[in-house]
């Protein structure tokens, strides 16, 4: 094994180890409690000689505690992708004849029936038709 490949193997092992960890659970953010309004007491007019004394006013019932709302997440809405939202081909690169066979392939790409191979040892790009 080449000493140039060791950093790549270490990086691949670290990436695989990191991908095996489960995603952390995210707790939903609690919603603030709504403010409850207390009813205002109305003041009775003062008794005068022209009007009779009023009956005592009833005290309003104590406000009941409103039920606390539960935190719910909105349902995910389906997303539609526009036809040009992804990467697009900007143009074609013309390649000249490449030197002999490459050594130490590290990356492959298949495009229009051709296989492009990036070679590490010979530092070149091979095209297989």
C-alpha distances in angstroms, 69 versus 26, 33, 57, 75? 19, 8, 34, 17
Going from N- to C-terminal start, the domains of the chain cover: 98-129
The CA distance from 74 to 71, in Å, is 10
Please give the pLDDT value at position 81: 57
The candidate with the shortest Cα–Cα distance to 73, out of 26, 33, 22, 24, is 26
Please give the pLDDT value at position 123: 84
Token pair of 46 as six digits:
């003062």
Q: Which residues pair with 116 in a beta bridge?
A: 109, 127
Give the pLDDT confidence of 16-64 residue by residue, as tens digits. 776 666 666 777 777 777 766 666 655 555 555 555 556 666 777 777 7
Give the pLDDT confidence of 61-120 residue by residue, as tens digits. 777 767 677 777 777 666 665 666 677 778 888 877 656 678 888 999 999 889 998 988
The CA distance from 31 to 70, in Å, is 8
């Amino acid at each position: 094994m080449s000493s140039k490949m060791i950093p790549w193997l270490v990086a691949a092992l670290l990436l695989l180890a990191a991908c095996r960890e489960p995603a952390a659970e995210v707790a939903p953010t609690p919603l603030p409690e709504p403010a409850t309004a207390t009813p205002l007491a109305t003041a009775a007019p003062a008794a005068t000689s022209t009007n009779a004394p009023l009956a005592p006013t009833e005290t309003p019932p104590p406000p009941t505690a409103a039920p606390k709302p539960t935190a719910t997440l909105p349902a995910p809405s389906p997303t539609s992708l526009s036809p040009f939202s992804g990467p697009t081909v900007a143009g074609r690169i013309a390649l000249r004849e490449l030197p002999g066979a490459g050594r130490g392939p590290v990356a492959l790409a298949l495009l229009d029936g051709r296989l492009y191979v990036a070679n590490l040892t010979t530092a070149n790009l091979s095209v297989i038709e």
